[in-house]
A and B are shown apart, each in its own frame.
Chain A
Amino acid sequence: MEFKIVIAGKGGEGIIFMTRILAEGAFSIGIPVISSEIHGMAQRGGSVISQVKLGKFYSPFIPYGSADFLIATSKEEGERNKIYLKPDGISVVNSPDPSPFHVDASGLAQKINHPKGANLILLGFAINKMGFDEKPFLEAIEKFSPSFLGEKNKKAFLFGFSISKEKSS
């Protein structure tokens, strides 16, 4: 199995954490993984992307027009980074608009009183669309969240995952 995934958003929205959970979860079930993430000045509030490749690859870079999934924290970043998607690629976007591949992660995060958990709602939603089981990713969240956020983060992820399930059934 091979997947190329681009995660797009702004610095400070938890893009690195999403990348990490995706990479850790996939590798824990035996899928080779290589990803890239932006640190330092470039991440301070500006547009950032992470690229994640699952399967046998040498580099984390994804050529334009070849990503299987694009996960975007806003419509604006989703639109801008569409260039990475292959023609039948799927873009999962944080947006209140009705669409099987949109989820209002920011609104739902407010609802569960965890505004910073929007990234994990979106990730849970996307991971269901990829056809993965939720368990390895929940374990990764448990392992890498600060202790006081572990439960809240898992809840946010599961919330996104289950909404995605409902939407596809």
Chain B
Amino acid sequence: MIRRVFLGNEAIAWGLLKEGVSFATSYPGTPASEILEAVIKFNEEYKLGIFAQWAINEKVAFELALAHSWLGGRSAVSMKQVGLNVALDPLMSAAYTGVKGGFLLISADDPGPYSSQTEQDSRFLAMFAKIPVFDPSSPKEAMDMIKEAFELSERYQIPVMLRPTSWVCHARQGILLEEELKPTSKKLSLEKDLYHWAALPRRRYVLHKELNEKLRSIQKENGFKRISFNGAKKAVVSSGFPFALLMDVLKSLGLEGSVDIYKVDRPFPLSPSLNDELSSYEEILVLEETYPVIELQIPYREKTRGRLDGTVPSQGELKPENILKALHLLLGDFPFEKINDLKEGSPPRLCPGCPHRATFWAIKKAFPQGFFPSDIGCYTLGLEMGAVDAFLCMGAGVSLAEGFYLALKNAGQKIPPICATVGDSTFFHACIPALIDAVNKKAAFVLVILDNATTAMTGGQPTPSNPPKNLRKVEMEEVIKGCGVEFIKVVDPFDYPEMERSLKEAYAFSQEKEAPAVIISRRPCPLFEEKETQKRSFILKLFRENCKSCMLCVSESRCPALEKGQEGLVIHQHLCRGCGLCAFICPNQALILTEF
């Protein structure tokens, strides 16, 4: 036995490789990012020689993995839940066409939400697409379910979903492994299968019928376990992370035997035999995240408690306190007192030394009356600096800017300077069609692409313009030019006066030519540079005699390394990365950055 402590996402990666996946791809997004990272790491460590690479977005990733499956190999594609919205088109269709080699879609949900725009439940999208979904409760279980998921996928030639949530992905668990990873080899075969791969609408009806038959057969395979079965009058049905919470809460209350417990491994399609078993209970409590997917498949409305009747809250993640309250409503035979929730802590901020901070500061200076759409990435944190007014989903930074401009123009109203911000990875992911549309429609706004040479928020994955060494680089400037943009300027955000000048210049161009103008604000993210050159060559000094405690450095930069203390400004030296923005902001030469 090998002892390893695995992050949930590492356990998933191990499970994929143990089951002989030969093609894995993904687009990064919390909480799914470390799955492919770990696949890449294990692939190198064990010299497995599989294809493991990041894709430009989730839709492309899904389609790459499907092609591999159609050739007979086992494929895995991982993404966060909102990423699956982007890949929904191929998913819906692939459910009909079916797969050949086992095909596992991993869609990681984020109840809370901690790092997402929605709390959507991917299991509903599995139901919508009519594919089976597995719902693990721990890293170990996620790893073990992968075997069953691949076997099911191959038995019925159907895509299968594994749906972990944040606290499965980002739990760390000690796991005993039977053996190390070994390379497996399987030959692919390109045999055309027009019946499935090229089905016109009329045959799609037939494929739909076949899909329904597959689901009926899958339903007969149980997909649930009896965990505790003492002939109690009440039962709890649970799946995923809430099951783990439930077991710990019952143990802490000493109530292990007082209620029968069913654990659902496969929430869709739910086995009819589970409903048969549930029919005899007086009351049933359903604990699942985040939407009532299992609950809606239980036909006994009057005696079922859960999200639909308010026993379990309809939003937010489940915590031990929610489980306790739900059990109290079900069993009512233990003391229960409401505990006040944790006070809110300090919100996330842009890191010290972040080049985005400097860009946002310049945008505010250049366009004090501006309107600022943004996008999904670290830079949503520009909100704190007052330089972000709206964001929606990947790519919408550009289309929102275009939409606001066109709407106001069409209404004949005054249009403020519109300046949108998007990151480099986000630009390639979903902004290109929007930018072409904006050129077509003569939308006059400034687009700032925050090019920090990485996908920073999710841990520093490569981008098309900064790919790993063995891949070909795509020049961002060339792509922008190819979209029809005529103003493109690359600026170092730490050259503060130049950035402000360039923004104004871009705005003037956009107004004159009725066209989008693009600034590329280029400077690498210090988080991922640091690993190679972790040396301090500067110190930020405070000259108290000059400081008038105006605190502009704090309020304008919102830098975590600066704080207003009781006796004036405090510099947290261990956080400072020496970008010097605060020294530039200071009107009194009280902050000086010195190199040594």
- Tell me whether A81 is interfacial, beta carbon within 8 Å: yes
Q: Of A11, A19, A57, A58, which is in contact with the most chain B CB atoms at under 10 Å from its CB?
A: A58
Question: Does A33 reach chain B (CB closer than 8 Å)?
Answer: yes
B31 in the interface (beta carbon within 8 A): yes
Instruction: Flag if A59 contacts B349 (CB, 8 Å).
Output: no
How many B residues are at the interface, by size bracket?
A: 35 or more
Q: Enumerate chain A residues within 8 angstroms of B34, measured Cβ to Cβ.
A: 39
* A32 to B34 alpha-carbon distance, docked (Å): 23
Main SS class of interface, A: mixed
- Tell yes or no: B205 within 8 A of A by CB: no
Segment at the B interface, from A21-29, A121-129, A159-167 = A21-29
Closest B residue to A41 by beta carbon equals B115
Given known A-B contacts A39-B459, A83-B340, A116-B574, A46 and B173 have beta carbons under 8 A apart: no
Nearest chain-B residue to A52 (Cβ)? Answer: B172
Q: Are B245 and A61 in touch, CB under 8 angstroms?
A: yes
| Residue in A35, A65, A115 whose beta carbon sits within 8 Å of that of B171 in the complex | A35
The answer, among B30, B342, B381, B573, for a CB contact under 8 Å with A83, is B342
Decide if B138 touches A81 in the complex (CB within 8 Å).
no
**Given A37-B172, A58-B138, do A27 and B3 touch, yes or no (CB 8 Å)?**
yes
Instruction: Tell me whether A40 and B115 are in contact (CB under 8 A).
Output: yes
Pairwise interchain contact B115-A24, C-beta atoms closer than 8 A: no
Give Cα distance in the complex from A47 to B342, angstroms: 12
Q: Are B342 and A42 in contact (CB under 8 A)?
A: no
A85 vs chain B, min Cβ distance (A): 12
Residues of A within 8 A of B321 (CB): 63-64
For the complex, what is the distance from the CA of A4 to the CA of B30, rounded to whole Å?
26
Q: How far is the CB of B136 from chain A (nearest CB, A)?
A: 12
B591 to chain A, nearest CB (A): 19
Min Cβ gap A13→B in Å is: 9
Interface residues of B in 1-43 (CB under 8 A from A): 3, 5, 7, 30-31, 33-34
A160 to chain B, nearest CB (A): 16
The stretch that binds A, out of B147-155, B246-254, B474-482, B510-518, is: B246-254
A90 within 8 A of B: no
Q: Which of A7-57 contact B (CB under 8 A)?
A: 10-12, 19-20, 23-24, 26-28, 31-48, 57
Q: A11-B348, A61-B167 are in contact. Are A34 and B574 (CB under 8 A)?
A: no
Taking a contact as CB atoms under 8 Å apart, the answer to whether B115 and A42 are in contact is yes
Render B103-121 as a binary contact track against A, CB cut-off 8 A, 1 for contact.
0000000000011000000
Q: A58 contacts which of B114, B248, B351, B380 (Cβ < 8 Å)? A: B248
Name the one of B31, B342, B348 contacting A44, with C-beta atoms under 8 angstroms: B348
| Contact indicator B171/A148 (Cβ below 8 Å) | no
| B171 contacts A34, C-beta separation under 8 Å | yes
A41 touches B351 (CB 8 A): no
- Structural contact, B350 and A61, CB atoms closer than 8 A: no
B575 to chain A, nearest CB (A): 7
- Pairwise interchain contact A42-B343, C-beta atoms closer than 8 A: no
Could you say which of B170, B350, B575 contacts A37, with CB atoms under 8 Å apart? B170
State the CA gap A66–B346 with chains docked (Å). Answer: 24
User: CB-nearest residue of chain B relative to A118?
Assistant: B574
- Chain A residue at minimal CB-CB distance from B342: A83
**CB <8 Å contact, B349 and A23:** no
Inter-chain contact B345/A36, CB cutoff 8 Å: no
A131 close to chain B: CB less than 8 A: no
CB of A109 closer than 8 Å to a CB of B: yes
Q: Which residues of A are found within 8 Å of B458, using beta-carbon distances?
A: 40
The answer to whether A44 and B174 have CB atoms under 8 Å apart is: no
Interface centre among A19, A47, A148 (most CB of B within 10 A): A47
Q: Which of A112-157 contact B (CB under 8 A)?
A: 115-116, 118, 146, 148-149
In this complex, which of A19, A40, A58, A61 has the most chain B Cβ atoms within 10 angstroms of its Cβ? A40
**Quick one: which of B30, B346, B378 contacts A47, CB cutoff 8 A?**
B346
A145 to chain B, nearest CB (A): 12
Nearest CB on A from B484, distance (A): 33
B494 within 8 A of A: no
In the bound complex, residues from chain A placing their C-beta under 8 Å from that of B342 are: 64, 80-81, 83
A20 touches B172 (CB 8 A): yes
B243 contacts A by Cβ under 8 Å: yes
Of residues 199 through 235 on chain B, the ones whose CB sits less than 8 Å from some CB of chain A are none
Whether A39 lies near B115 (C-beta < 8 A) is yes
One digit per residue, 1 when the CB lies within 8 angstroms of any chain A CB and 0 when it does not, for chain B 547-565 equals: 0000000000000100000
The complex places the Cα of A57 from the Cα of B340 at a distance, in Å, of 25
Interface residue B332 (Cβ < 8 Å from any Cβ of A): no
Q: How many angstroms from the CA of A24 to the CA of B241 in the assembled complex?
A: 22
A80 CA to B345 CA in the complex, in Å?
Answer: 8
> Are the CB atoms of B114 and A41 closer together than 8 Å?
yes
Q: Do B348 and A41 have beta carbons less than 8 Å apart?
A: yes
Tell me which residues across on chain B come within 8 A of A146, comparing CB atoms: 531, 534
Which residues of A are found within 8 Å of B241, using beta-carbon distances? 59
For chain B, residues 246 to 264, give those with C-beta under 8 angstroms from any C-beta of chain A.
247-249, 252
Q: Across the A-B interface, give the 9 residue pairs with the lowest CB-CB distance, nearest first.
A: A47-B345, A40-B30, A40-B115, A59-B244, A27-B174, A46-B348, A63-B320, A115-B574, A58-B244
Given A11-B348, A42-B115, 18 new contacts (CB under 8 A): A12-B351, A12-B575, A20-B172, A23-B174, A33-B5, A34-B172, A37-B7, A40-B31, A46-B348, A59-B171, A59-B248, A60-B167, A60-B171, A61-B320, A63-B321, A63-B324, A106-B574, A115-B574
A residues engaging B (CB < 8 A)?
Answer: 10-12, 19-20, 23-24, 26-28, 31-48, 57-66, 77, 80-81, 83, 106, 109, 115-116, 118, 146, 148-149
* A-B residue pairs in contact (CB < 8 Å), sample of 28: A12-B575, A23-B174, A26-B174, A27-B5, A28-B3, A31-B174, A36-B172, A39-B115, A39-B459, A40-B115, A40-B458, A44-B351, A44-B381, A46-B348, A58-B247, A59-B138, A59-B167, A61-B167, A61-B245, A61-B248, A63-B249, A64-B339, A64-B342, A66-B252, A77-B345, A115-B574, A148-B534, A149-B534
